Amino acid sequence: MQFELNHVNKIYVSSEENKVFGAKDVNINIHEGDFLALVGPSGSGKTTILNLIAGLIIPTSGHLKHGGKDITSMSLEERTQHRLDYMGFVFQDYQLLPILTAWENVEFPLQLKGFSKKEIHERVDWALAQVGLEKMGNRFPKQLSGGQQQRVSIARAIAGRPQLILADEPTANLDSKTAQEIIELFLRLNREFKLTFVFSTHDQRLIDQVRTVLYIKDGQISEARKNNV
């Protein structure tokens, strides 16, 4: 299903005289299988736009739609359920629960979704195998390298087979070799399973390998570029 941002504005107000646009008249259509990056310097608005797509914040004006449903008009509880049902997340700092093993970290959101024990087991095993960690499910985050922790984070994001995966600076804390391996993993998941990815990133290697690049400046899309990949 398609995700749409239609004339979306997000204004942060610190005073009547000081209004800052986190997003300004943003129009984006995200289709199944897209591999898209939001690119811009810190403070440009790319993380705000990512949070708008996720429904973590709602626009000051404009509309967010998913499959014809207007996310803008949903309650906080409805938006939370919508994220759980349709989205997966990969973070710069992994955000794994330290008291849970890798297997349990992937399992946790599936429990929230209400899957049966049998289906959870199948999905966790499948997701860990996709990221090459099928033999490390019993390890805790502190026993894993940064690259391995990010792989667990990716496994957690894909285990529910979401329609959209949002990744915020997913290679920022990784060394060059590991970052390239993670990018290649994203590419394979996109190619093999048609998983839809939207990244915010500064990483030129990732920027060069996405199919669509949206450059963000002062909350606006200043340029859109298609890569020949």
Question: Which pLDDT tens digit goes with each residue over 120-156?
Answer: 999 999 999 999 999 999 999 999 999 999 999 999 9
CB 40 within 8 A of CB 87: no
Q: Tens digit of pLDDT per residue, the chain (229 long)?
A: 689 999 999 998 766 677 788 999 999 999 999 999 999 988 899 999 999 999 999 999 999 999 889 999 999 999 999 999 999 999 999 999 999 999 999 999 999 998 999 999 999 999 999 999 999 999 999 999 999 999 999 999 999 999 999 999 999 999 999 999 999 999 999 999 999 999 999 999 999 999 999 999 999 999 999 998 7
User: 125 to each of 155, 156, 192, 197, how far by Cα in Å?
Assistant: 9, 11, 17, 22
> What domains does the chain contain, in order, with CATH numbers?
3-226 (3.40.50.300)
CB 177 within 8 A of CB 10: no
Displacement of CA 188 from its chain's centroid (Å)? 16
Residue 125 CA to residue 152 CA, distance in Å, equals: 12
